[in-house]
Structure 1
Amino acid sequence: MEPNEILKRNGIKITQGRVEILNILTNSENSLSAEKIYHIYRNNNININLSTVYRTLELFEEKGLTEKITLNDGVFSYKLKKETHRHHLQCDICHKEVEIPCPMLQIQEMVQNSTGFTLTDHDLVMKGVCKDCKKKL
């Protein structure tokens, strides 16, 4: 889908800066900080304010286009949302399953940013006792 259409569909006013930031995020395999996006602009001789990059990324997050990830150095990094990866918790007693969003996203981003290693998959198994069964114990 074209950036203009993505912005329009999400009720975001189309500006050249927003289109370019969306293109940068689309073409990146890893999450990017506002500073990194700013430097990509500057390296391509495109004039933009760092505050514009920050405001645009916050707007994209507010509209559900991006995920904001806190890296281990306290810097925020942004990544376009894709199909949400989910996990299941299963009760050891009654075997009821509860679906949860993936808690590994932030860790995965930290690993990629600190090592340059592109992760392709991960497995997470969490077992326990649900609140209903815990009451019966």
Structure 2
Amino acid sequence: MRMTKQRKAIIDLFGQNDNQALNADMIHNMLGNEEMNLSTVYRNMDKLTELGLVQRIIINTVAYYCLANSTHRHFMLCTNCKKLIPIHCFLKKMLPALEEENDFSITSHDMTILGLCHTCKNIAG
């Protein structure tokens, strides 16, 4: 794979943001129009995902991305401000029992918890 200027800018962006999960619009806005247009962001995210450098996570029908070398995690999504809060995966310990009980081979899993973040909860309450 050729590491283009645009791909490097995207990878660097994740590093600068503590590998926060970002969607294509967020990446585009953070990089700015002068760096690349939105369709270029989408093409690069598809390529980086295909190459295994970036992990795609679908949350509420929106694709978010983070570097693939990060630890497996899930997210809480604030339904008001759309803030994503990463949480550790506590499902790993349950997966072997689920596989055995259901004669099923689990290849991946995903979970998103919806609610209100601390700020939005205090505004609403």
TM-score tier after normalising by the smaller chain length: 0.5 to 0.7
TM-score (norm 2): 0.61
Say whether residues 1:123 and 2:116 are aligned partners.
Answer: no
TM-score (norm 1): 0.57
Divergent runs of 4+, >6 A:
none
Within-5 A mapping of 1:1-137: 12-29=1-18, 30-42=20-32, 46-72=34-60, 74-82=61-69, 85=72, 105=73, 108-109=74-75, 111=76, 114-119=82-87, 121-124=88-91, 125-126=93-94, 127-128=97-98, 130=100
Structure 2 equivalent of residue 96 of structure 1: none
Cα gap change, 1:112/1:47 in structure 2, threshold over 3 Å: closer, same or farther? same
> Where in structure 2 are there 5+ consecutive unaligned residues?
104-125
Deviation at 1:129, TM superposition (A): 7.5
Deviation at 1:116, TM superposition (A): 4.7
| Separation in 2, partners of 1:112, 1:129 | 28
User: What RMSD, in angstroms, separates the aligned Cα atoms of the two structures?
Assistant: 2.7
Structure 1 or 2: more strand by fraction = 2
What amino acid is aligned across from residue 60 of structure 1 in structure 2? L
Deviation at 1:36, TM superposition (A): 0.4
Deviation at 1:122, TM superposition (A): 4.0
> Where in structure 1 are there 5+ consecutive unaligned residues?
1-11, 86-104
Give secondary structure in 1 for the equivalent of 2:21: coil
Structure 1 equivalent of residue 119 of structure 2: none
| Separation in 1, partners of 2:38, 2:59 | 19
Deviation at 1:130, TM superposition (A): 2.7
What amino acid is aligned across from residue 123 of structure 1 in structure 2? F
Instruction: Return 122-131 or 59-68, whichever deviates more.
Output: 122-131
